[in-house]
Amino acid sequence: MSRGASRGVLQYLRWLLVPAALLLVSGFWPSWPRTHVLVLDATGQQLKTLDVSWSIEGEAAPRGGASWRFEEGGPAPGRLRHTVEGPSGDWQIEVRRLGRASTAQTTSQHRVTLDGEETVLFLEGP
């Protein structure tokens, strides 16, 4: 094979390898850790405490969590933002709240899809 022909083959292979590499990487992209923003909308609620934990759908142990404590008689919390590190996909969010007029804690489960964008979770009820 002549030198010119081998250069042509190498150039051809280079043009094939780049798209093949990008295709391969794109298959792993969703599982790579990313920063997601979880917004908890508790507008109008009278809360003493708010505890949140999150895990990837199907995992038993939480991957993280956050807690907020609010002053007695203070303003309602409104929207609370927290960053979550992990792969894109379906997540389980557990929210535990204690209202100002209550002694019983309320727990709710939420399924959300985190995709690297801001995700708003509306918290309703007491």
Q: Which fold has domain 33-122?
A: Immunoglobulin-like (2.60.40)
Q: pLDDT tens for residues 56-98?
A: 888 889 989 999 988 876 666 789 999 998 888 899 999 998 8
pTM: 0.70
Domain ranges of the chain: 1-29, 33-122
Instruction: Catalogue the long-range contacts made by 108-115 (C-beta closer than 8 Å, 24 or more residues apart).
Output: 111/57, 112/38, 113/88, 113/89, 114/36, 114/38, 114/84, 114/86, 114/88, 114/89, 115/36, 115/88
